[in-house]
Structure 1
Amino acid sequence: MFRSFRNPVFARLYAAQSISLLGDALTWVGLALVAFELAGEQSAVVLSTALTLRVTAFVLLAPLAGVIADRLDRKVIMVVTHLARMAIVGLLPFVTQTWQIYILILGLNIFNAFFTPTYQATIPLVTGKDDYPQAIALSSTTYQLLGVIGPGIAGGIAAFTGARQVFFWDAGSFLVAGVLILTLPGQLKVESRQGLPSQKGRTWQDIKSGTTQLFADSALRYGLLMQLVSSIAGAEILINTVGYVQGTLKLGNVSYGWVMAAFGTGATLASVAIGMVGNKLPRTTLVLWGGLLITLALLPANAANLWVLMALWLLAGVGQNCVNLPMQTLIADRISTEMQGRVYGAHFAWSHFWWLISYPLAGWLGGNFPSVEFFYGGLIGLFLLLIVQLTKSEITPVPVKFPD
């Protein structure tokens, strides 16, 4: 994977993304502490509302963000979104009411919705056809790794500086990342070969075209539907693990942390493995294996002790990233360069829309079937996987031209 660092533009872009990911960890750790300070035992309601606002912003705005990424200089978009997020998190230390948290988190994730698809579409643009799979895998590995260690780092900073002061460190991380992107040479703008004149309604047509291409391509449609399968299982893990560990197994916060760290570690290992495999395996094969792995890992979980649960969640983490990571490279494989931004944006929106379905389902299963919620979630996932597999269309290769 590390050969992609030979590209100095990607290396700087990757460094900026890693710094901003650490900033995200600071955001959510600080937010959890401030939410508890303001709402006490109702802090879970505050955090769940904030997460819902986050996903809603992604679903509604990511398709538009992808269209803009195809039209404008992506470097400008990424710098502006970093500076805007810096300003917003700089206001979080001063909140005194929960409604202020909701407004700031919504604003923060509006700009996040514009940054992430732009960044994803920029990786194949700056690396080219030889290195983009490894570059995407490296970026995903870092995302997963910081998901495991980032909260620990953020917690240490919060313990040293205080809950509210952590947001100033957070703002500094976005500033540094924005400066790194600003120093990238030249523009990161895609020159369209379509030659379409400016016309009324074109923006809406471009937004629709991202979703149309996503569902029209057999491989992308298959991968996206498998992400629905993965989200069913993933939501079960994220929502119901704490109740199982602390309620059923009668263990504490440390044990819960180890179980979730196992899940994140599995996702990290999958990213490394996929980066090493490269193009040796069809991406749709990886997606199928991943979907099977994460759903099968759920089935015996209600009978597991701590160590077995950690092993199952490790496998589930591997499965989830075997579904999610190939989708990014499939888009780069099968969509022409000047159209990739809008398709990445559409994919970002749809993949998060699945979680708006999966989170309530997981909560309902956990509330109504607390002794078999993982088993039922696994059965639902397997049922959906079977439907997707039976209705899968023949996947044909699509040659894509990369810019020189």
Structure 2
Amino acid sequence: MIIKRKLSVLIEPFKALKNRVFAGLYFAESISLLGDAFTWVGLALLSYQFGKERSAVILATALTLRVIAFIIFSPFAGVLADRVSRKTILYTTHFFRMAIVACFPFVHAEWQIYALVFLLNVFNAFFTPTYRSVIPLVTSHSHYRQAVGLSTATFQILGILGPGLAGILAVWFGIREIFFLDAGSFIIAAILILTLPAAKMQHNVMQSQKTFTAWHDALKGVKLLFKNPLIRFALFIEFVSAIAGAQILVNTVGYVKTTLHLTDKYYGWAMATFGIGASIAAFVAGSLDKTKTRRISLIAGALILCVAISFTNFVGYPVMLILWLFAGLGQSLAEMPSETLIGENIADNEQGKVYGSHFAFSHLWWAIAYPIAGFTGSHFPNRNFLLGGVISGMLFLIALLINKSSAKAYG
């Protein structure tokens, strides 16, 4: 009986795939996520061709440009999603991304890489908020959280498996040629989206207003994002998660290779363990926490993540793997509720702009968190995770105090 119950929890997210429209969107998103893995593995290898000493600089600059594109353009992408055909946005952005990645094999200067990366992520900034705003429209209320969980889990799993597959294909086809496979993935995803009914993705979204002020609507998205106490608290918890998560992404490699004196293989296993934990939580979170506020997931996730990284500087590799598994669980639990809370608490015709604002702020948190992680890693290499845990823990307590009054109102 217990085994059957556990299996039902794991299988439940897949019930959302019974919905034909969501299934099409889900597989299109999964294919494009695999393409993204090809992009970044190919970019890393391409950067190395420009010189070993320049590869880290090129990749760091590319990641910075990626975040800048998200912060600048995603609020306006959300505004657009509330005004024009979302289906058009989804497949058009795929075709543009296809064209951009197909240019990578022909680059011969660093500035060309930066220009292409920025343009690529401008269209990513338009695609992702639109995709997220479509999910609550095409799924039933009972399957919405499962659909979000399945999408998030797939993102985590492909984050583990995608780079490995991309690396194998790069050896087989060639470093520059892998970008053509990447372009092909975007074409397939776009064709899948073209087969879906546009009306289902645009339910209750008003298109009658011919003129609108982009800045006004973008600011409205920000106001709606922070006005709702449930979403506001979830967004603050995402900041906590970003501070802790950046420590993991930035400083794990130094801890494994410099402090523990282990090889790249062990670093890979550590990050895979983190990804596995995040995937597991993404699958089961929607089934385990069915409360309106999602406070159980948010508080438990932030607490687990803060505690997990705080002890890492004082343990060996085997215990670190356990802590990273729990850190992955915590990060998914802390970050997933925001998306579902927007879908459940914001009117259909306003969701696009709110998802766009959320996408911008969630990446702003990481833009703040990465330099903090870099500072603690370079100045306090033996206490970096502890300091990251203390900072994220303090932010967590502040978030709880700020949310105290609204928590009483919502139970």
Query: Aligned match of 1:136 in 148, 172, 193?
Result: 148
Query: Aligned match of 1:317 in 328, 331, 338?
Result: 328
Q: Which moved more, 1:151-160 or 1:172-181?
A: 151-160
- Conserved? CA contact 2:289–2:296, under 8 Å: no
- Shift, 1:285, TM fit: 1.8
- The separation in 2 between residues aligned to 1:68 and 1:24, in whole angstroms, is 23
- The separation in 2 between residues aligned to 1:197 and 1:181, in whole angstroms, is 26
Three-state SS of the structure 1 residue aligned to 2:215 is helix
- Conserved? CA contact 1:71–1:189, under 8 Å: no
- The separation in 1 between residues aligned to 2:178 and 2:161, in whole angstroms, is 16
How has the CA–CA distance of structure 1 residues 248 and 281 changed in structure 2, closer, same or farther, with 3 Å as cutoff? farther
- Shift, 1:128, TM fit: 2.8
Cross-structure match for 1:174: 186
- Conserved? CA contact 1:70–1:190, under 8 Å: no
- Shift, 1:40, TM fit: 1.5
Cross-structure match for 1:101: 113
- The separation in 2 between residues aligned to 1:120 and 1:223, in whole angstroms, is 16
Cross-structure match for 2:367: 356
Query: Aligned match of 1:161 in 170, 173, 177?
Result: 173
- Conserved? CA contact 1:133–1:278, under 8 Å: no
How has the CA–CA distance of structure 1 residues 59 and 278 changed in structure 2, closer, same or farther, with 3 Å as cutoff? same
How has the CA–CA distance of structure 1 residues 278 and 181 changed in structure 2, closer, same or farther, with 3 Å as cutoff? farther
Three-state SS of the structure 2 residue aligned to 1:184 is coil
- The separation in 2 between residues aligned to 1:255 and 1:10, in whole angstroms, is 37
Three-state SS of the structure 1 residue aligned to 2:82 is helix
Task: Calculate the TM-score normalised by the size of structure 2.
Answer: 0.94
- Conserved? CA contact 1:138–1:275, under 8 Å: no
Cross-structure match for 2:288: 277
Three-state SS of the structure 2 residue aligned to 1:309 is helix
Cross-structure match for 1:259: 270
Query: Aligned match of 2:59 in 47, 64, 69?
Result: 47
- The separation in 2 between residues aligned to 1:240 and 1:212, in whole angstroms, is 35
- Shift, 1:197, TM fit: 4.8
- The separation in 1 between residues aligned to 2:204 and 2:14, in whole angstroms, is 29
- Conserved? CA contact 2:204–2:348, under 8 Å: no
- Shift, 1:278, TM fit: 5.5
Cross-structure match for 1:401: none
- The separation in 2 between residues aligned to 1:154 and 1:98, in whole angstroms, is 22
Q: Residue type of the partner of 2:27?
A: A
- Shift, 1:387, TM fit: 0.8
Question: Which deviations, in whole Å up to 9, do the C-alpha atoms of 1:91-143 show, x marking residues without a partner?
Answer: 00111111110000000000000000000000011113221111111111111
Cross-structure match for 2:202: 189
Cross-structure match for 2:391: 380
RMSD, aligned CA? 1.6
- Shift, 1:276, TM fit: 2.9
**Which runs of 5 or more residues in structure 1 are unaligned?**
399-404
Task: Calculate the TM-score normalised by the size of structure 1.
Answer: 0.95
- The separation in 2 between residues aligned to 1:289 and 1:248, in whole angstroms, is 30
- The separation in 2 between residues aligned to 1:232 and 1:38, in whole angstroms, is 32
- Shift, 1:198, TM fit: 4.8
Matches within 5 A, 1:207-356: 207-277=218-288, 279=290, 282-356=293-367
- The separation in 1 between residues aligned to 2:89 and 2:20, in whole angstroms, is 20
Three-state SS of the structure 2 residue aligned to 1:130 is helix
- The separation in 1 between residues aligned to 2:258 and 2:292, in whole angstroms, is 41
- The separation in 2 between residues aligned to 1:160 and 1:336, in whole angstroms, is 49
How has the CA–CA distance of structure 1 residues 181 and 353 changed in structure 2, closer, same or farther, with 3 Å as cutoff? same
Q: Which runs of 4+ in 1 moved over 4 A?
A: 195-200, 395-398
Aligned residues: 396
- The separation in 2 between residues aligned to 1:172 and 1:354, in whole angstroms, is 33
- The separation in 1 between residues aligned to 2:56 and 2:385, in whole angstroms, is 22
- The separation in 1 between residues aligned to 2:237 and 2:289, in whole angstroms, is 20
Cross-structure match for 2:20: 8
- The separation in 2 between residues aligned to 1:385 and 1:294, in whole angstroms, is 11
Question: Which deviations, in whole Å up to 9, do the C-alpha atoms of 1:325-379 show, x marking residues without a partner?
Answer: 1111010111011111110000000000001110001001111111100001100
- The separation in 1 between residues aligned to 2:174 and 2:364, in whole angstroms, is 35
Query: Aligned match of 2:137 in 105, 118, 125?
Result: 125
Cross-structure match for 1:203: 214
Q: Report the identity percentage.
A: 48
Q: Residue type of the partner of 2:75?
A: P
How has the CA–CA distance of structure 1 residues 212 and 282 changed in structure 2, closer, same or farther, with 3 Å as cutoff? closer
Question: Which deviations, in whole Å up to 9, do the C-alpha atoms of 1:188-213 show, x marking residues without a partner?
Answer: 224446x985556x321110011101
How has the CA–CA distance of structure 1 residues 382 and 389 changed in structure 2, closer, same or farther, with 3 Å as cutoff? same
- Shift, 1:274, TM fit: 1.0
Three-state SS of the structure 1 residue aligned to 2:142 is coil
- Shift, 1:185, TM fit: 2.1
Q: Residue type of the partner of 1:78?
A: L
Three-state SS of the structure 1 residue aligned to 2:164 is helix
Three-state SS of the structure 2 residue aligned to 1:279 is coil
- The separation in 1 between residues aligned to 2:309 and 2:142, in whole angstroms, is 37
- The separation in 2 between residues aligned to 1:240 and 1:2, in whole angstroms, is 35
